[in-house]
């Protein structure tokens, strides 16, 4: 499944939507009171779950680091893993702090 072009196109679409949402967010609205920021905040967890799932599925299908075609043997996957890892750390910190 993770090697099919449709899967990759879907993930690229999700990344594009996430990028647009990040660009559309009003960062001067520190309390996130605008309707746009509220919509982005409500939609963000779904994007994260899709991206986390993509990472986990690829690791399970390809192997993590050992083997010729493993996940971390591809530069794009290394970048993906760093982004996903930093996102997980940020989410855990937010949960711990109560945000």
Can you read off the two tokens belonging to residue 39? Answer: 């919509």
Whole-angstrom distance, CA of residue 2 vs CA of residue 74: 14
Determine if the pTM surpasses 0.85.
Answer: no
Identify the three-state secondary structure at position 12. helix
pLDDT of 50 strictly over 80: yes
- Structure confidence by residue, pLDDT tens digits, 24-49: 999 999 888 999 999 999 999 899 99
Mean pLDDT of the chain, nearest integer:
91
């Amino acid at each position: 499944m993770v090697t099919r072009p449709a899967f990759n196109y879907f993930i690229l679409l999700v990344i594009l939507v996430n990028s647009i949402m990040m660009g559309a967010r009003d960062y001067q609205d520190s309390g996130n009171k605008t309707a746009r920021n509220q919509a982005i905040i409500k939609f963000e967890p779904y994007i994260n779950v899709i991206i986390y799932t993509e990472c986990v599925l690829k690791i399970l299908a390809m192997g993590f680091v050992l083997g010729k075609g493993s996940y971390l043997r591809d530069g794009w996957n290394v970048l993906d893993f760093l982004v996903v890892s930093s996102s997980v750390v940020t989410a855990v910190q937010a949960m711990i702090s109560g945000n």
